[in-house]
Amino acid sequence: MIVVTGAAGFIGSALVWKLNQTGRDDILAVDSAGTGSKSRNLAGLRFADYCDRDDFLQRILSGGLDNEIETIFHLGATTSTTFSDAGFLRKNNFEYTKHLAQFAVRTGARFIYASSAATYGDGTSGYSDDERGIEKLCPLNMYGRSKHLFDLWALRHGLLEKIVGLKYFNVFGPNEYHKGDMRSMVCKGFEQARATGTIRLFKSHRPEYADGEQKRDFLYVKDAVEMTVFFHKHPEPAGIFNLGSGVANTWNTLARAIFAALELPARIEYIEMPRDLRDKYQYDTCAEISKLRRSGYEKPVTQFEQAVSDYVVNYLLGGKCLS
């Protein structure tokens, strides 16, 4: 049996979709009881059973699932970068992950968990996924710190020789509709372009970057789950791995790709960045994915404009989910 936590969420539901494509439906889908608007992400997907996240933890701690689980994909977490309850994040993102990792190591299950590119902070320490550099990283928000805390714990207890941590960069694509303000700019820019004919981007507050020329490593969710499933099919690699495209694209490129997919003229308005974001804003992120490639992952990453077009034309225009 395969377990996917956060199964009703963005990447979690896309992962269930990908596993279904590979012929697997012996999946225990785990998420919070009040999935709300996320529930539509699971419509049309195949899984053997559904379990509340707290009930699942109790079954793990009681030994009720010993020797039944082949792989745990642990994607469930509080992911808002503006969430400020440090105690809740520690319990939900750190302690919960510890329990699952210890269970997996004890029972021999494969453990693949979501770390985050937010652990890299402002990028001054680089974006290398070499575990020897983990202790130098300084996340900028509580979410990133909660993820970093588990990475450090796993490193110091020797678990990174047995488990896999995935640092997802800027993932976008279908099934993110429920995320509100945490949706990708592809999704929000699409809505702006359709409603007003204009996409609004933050001005730059660093002279070396023109407005809209700030860069991100954008990764299509279909590529993200393809990479994630690779570590299920190949049990040898262990440690921390960046999951990104390995290419940095600008916000201007993103906006123009949305307009092109909609067959609309490109109209971009640059607005002031909120002051509380300026000191935490990343101007140039790009995943180093050579370690992923060395692990044996050979598939090409979808070209950015092609990924945006697929998302806009085949999903956003019809409000469709992966199914």
What pLDDT, on a 0 to 100 scale, did the predictor assign at position 122?
Answer: 84
Using CA atoms, how far apart are residues 233 and 290, in angstroms rounded to an integer?
19
Beta bridge mates, 239: 164
Query: Is 215 noted as a catalytic residue in this protein?
Result: no
CA angle 51, 52, 53 (to 5 degrees): 110
Annotated active-site residue in 179, 203, 209, 270: 179
Annotated active-site residue in 143, 177, 220, 297: 143
Average pLDDT, the chain: 94
Distances (CA, A) of 163 to 65, 73, 139, 168, 319: 19, 11, 22, 16, 36
Confidence grade of residue 80 (pLDDT, cut at 50, 70, 90): low
Torsional sign, CA 151, 224, 109, 55: positive
Q: Is the pTM of this model over 0.75?
A: yes
What pLDDT, on a 0 to 100 scale, did the predictor assign at position 281?
Answer: 85
**166 has pLDDT over 60:** yes
Query: Is 179 noted as a catalytic residue in this protein?
Result: yes
What pLDDT, on a 0 to 100 scale, did the predictor assign at position 73?
Answer: 98
Domains in the chain, start-ordered, CATH in brackets? 2-169+219-246+285-301 (3.40.50.720), 170-218+247-284+302-323 (3.90.25.10)
Using CA atoms, how far apart are residues 266 and 314, in angstroms rounded to an integer?
20
Nearest to 286 by CA among 242, 254, 253, 256: 242
**18 has pLDDT over 60:** yes
Of 124 and 159, more confident: 159
